[in-house]
Amino acid sequence: MLAAALVHIQAAEEKSTVSFTIENDSFFGTDRYYTHGFRLQYMHEPNSVPGWVASLLTNTLTAGMDVNRMRIGFTLGQELYTPSNITRPGLNENDRPYGAWLYTGLVLRRAGTVAGTIPSVDEFELDLGVVGPNAFGEETQTWWHKLTGYAEPRGWDNQLGNEPALQIYLTRSIQVGFRTENYWGLDIVPHARAALGNVYIYGELGTLFRAGYNLPSEYVISPMESFSTHPSYDPPKWSVYAFAGADGRAIGRNIFLDGSTFEDSHSVDKEPLVADFRAGASVRYGPVEVVGSAVHRTREFELQSKDENFLSITFQFHY
C-alpha cells in the first residue's frame, strides 16, 4: 500500500553533514578534458542559521515556496582540465587549454513546498577563488600521477593565466514520488539551474530518478554530484538506492574553453549545448553514507575527438 503520493521533506533527526567528493576520469582509463576535481563541504544542521540568512531565505526570490527548513554551509573545491595529450610540452592549438581553479564558497539551502504540497529545494552558492597557476593544478596532477604511476604531465606551462574568479549557482528542484509502508520508495527530481560568473555562464535543465529502500528525505544536486545529505526521517538505520539522471546545459561561457577573461590566451570553439548522463547508487548505515556515480559527458568543444567519462564518489558523515 502506498504511504503517500508525494514525498514530504521533514526530519526528526537534526544533523550537520560533512561530505567529501572526488571526481576523476582515470577510473575509466583516460586522462584528458575534465580530469580531476574534489569538493569538501560542511552543511550546518537545519534551522540553525544566522538571522540575516533566515531573513534572506524566507523573503528573497521564494517563487511561491513555503519555506520550512534552512541550512548554511561552506565548501572548498578544485577542478582540473587538460588537453588529450598531457605528455606533449608544447601548445596544441586544436585542443583545449590547460586550466584549473581553486575556490571556497558559501552555500545557502532552503526546503519547503510549492503549489501547496510539492516538496522543493533551493540552493544558492557563491564561490570565490582563482583560475591559473595559483590554483595549483600542475602540482595536484603531478602528485596524483606520481602516486598512481601515470605519465608525468608536461604541458602546464601553457595553462591559463592567473585570474580572480567569482561564481554563482542558483538551483531549484522539486520532488515527486511515493513511499510504501515497508520503506521502499521512488522519486523523480527535476531541476533547473543558472550559473553566472567569469568561470561559467549557463542554464541547465535536468531530471534525477531514485529508487530503493529508505530513501533519504533531503537531497541536493550540486555542481559536483552529491545526491543526498541528510538521514531519512524513517526509522531504519540503513538505506540503499539506485539512481539515474540526465542534464542538459546551454553554455554562454566556459573559461576553460573560451580562455582568460581579461587577457589574450589559448581558446577553442565550444559546443553551445552539452549533456551529462549518470547512473549510480548510494549506501548508508547510521551516520555514514557513500554515493558513487558514473558520468558520461558529451563533447564540449568542436574539435574534441570523443565524449568523456568520469567517476564521482562522495563520502558523507552525518552528526
Task: Provide the residue ranges of all domains of the chain, joining segments of one domain with +.
Answer: 2-318
Distance CA 156, CA 88 (A): 10
Residue-level pLDDT at 219: 65
Residue-level pLDDT at 58: 93
Which residue is it, cell 539551474?
Answer: 193
Q: Contact, 25 vs 34, CB < 8 A?
A: yes
| Chain segment 194-224, per-residue pLDDT in tens | 999 999 999 999 999 999 998 877 666 555 6
The candidate with the shortest Cα–Cα distance to 279, out of 270, 291, 289, is: 291
Residue-level pLDDT at 79: 96
**Hey, what's the cell of 263?**
587577457
Distance CA 107, CA 127 (A): 9
Predicted TM-score (pTM) of the model is: 0.91
The candidate with the shortest Cα–Cα distance to 126, out of 162, 170, 163, is: 170
Residue-level pLDDT at 15: 80
CATH number of 2-318: 2.40.128.140
Residue-level pLDDT at 226: 52
| Phi–psi pair at 146, nearest 5 degrees | -65, -40
Residues of the chain below pLDDT 50: 1-12, 229-234
- 89: buried, middle or exposed (CB in 10 Å: 19+, 13-18, 0-12)? exposed
Q: Contact, 266 vs 259, CB < 8 A?
A: yes
Residue-level pLDDT at 14: 61
Residue-level pLDDT at 230: 47
Strand spans (E) along the chain = 2-4, 17-24, 33-43, 66-82, 99-114, 118-131, 163-174, 176-180, 184-197, 200-213, 238-254, 273-285, 288-297, 308-318
